[in-house]
């Protein structure tokens, strides 16, 4: 756990040995098998998860009751149904494991405790929140500005490892295209 945190947090700020010990004591390791709902729609999100190993997806249901993938989280990402976590209200999203996952979980009370006792944790959270905002904006604008093929090519360039780890119908949902269209795009790309 310490190596993962120090690698990620160390890019943002530094902590004393005592602070590292307190941070470690607030997180617990959770192992989740693949294809398991970590948070269900209608649940109140209790935790934020740091992904040591594995892939999680955040999804919601559209008016046709079809699952729409909002985001894919992999190693060294923080994952949660953040709106529900922050407001402690019922979630309109779900968090699901795509692969077997090893996660570090922290609940809201322990995170608040860290904010009080270790002020730099506020900086860490701000940087994580800023990155989530940037990612959300990129996803939103890509749906407007880019063709399905351009969205796929960008995904392949930035997250090509997920093409081998995540079912393609989930990736197509994330990219806002049908599985059939994504197959055609992949076929065209390989023929070039």
pLDDT, tens digit (0-9, with 9 covering 90-100), for 173-185? 999 999 999 999 9
CB 80 within 8 A of CB 43: no
φ/ψ (deg, to 5) at 130:
-60, -40
The topology (CATH level 3) of 2-144 is Jelly Rolls (2.60.120)
Segment 140-164 shows an average pLDDT of 91
Confidence of residue 85 (pLDDT cuts 50, 70, 90): very high
Positive or negative, the CA dihedral 81, 82, 88, 89 is negative
* Euclidean distance between CA atoms 78 and 184, whole angstroms: 33
CA neighbours within 13 Å on the CB side: how many for 176? 14
pTM of the model: 0.89
pLDDT at 5: 66
By residue count, the chain amounts to 192
pLDDT, tens digit, for every residue of 39-76?
A: 999 999 999 999 999 999 999 999 999 999 999 999 98
């Amino acid at each position: 756990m310490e190596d993962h945190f120090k690698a990620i947090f160390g890019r943002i700020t530094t902590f004393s040995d005592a602070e590292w010990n307190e941070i470690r004591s607030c997180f617990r390791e959770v192992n989740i098998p693949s294809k398991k709902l970590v948070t269900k729609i209608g649940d109140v999100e209790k935790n934020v998860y740091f992904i040591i190993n594995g892939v999680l997806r955040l999804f919601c249901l559209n008016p046709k009751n079809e699952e729409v993938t909002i985001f894919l989280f992999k190693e060294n990402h923080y994952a949660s149904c953040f709106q529900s976590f922050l407001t402690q209200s019922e979630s309109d999203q779900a968090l699901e494991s795509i692969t077997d996952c090893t996660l570090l979980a922290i609940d809201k009370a322990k995170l608040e405790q860290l904010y009080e006792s270790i002020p730099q944790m506020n900086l860490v959270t701000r940087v994580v929140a800023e990155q989530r905002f940037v990612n959300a904006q990129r996803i939103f604008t890509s749906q407007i500005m880019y063709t399905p093929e351009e969205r796929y090519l960008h995904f392949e360039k930035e997250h090509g490892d997920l093409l081998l780890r995540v079912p393609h119908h989930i990736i197509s949902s994330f990219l806002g295209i049908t599985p059939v269209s994504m197959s055609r795009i992949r076929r065209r790309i390989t023929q070039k």
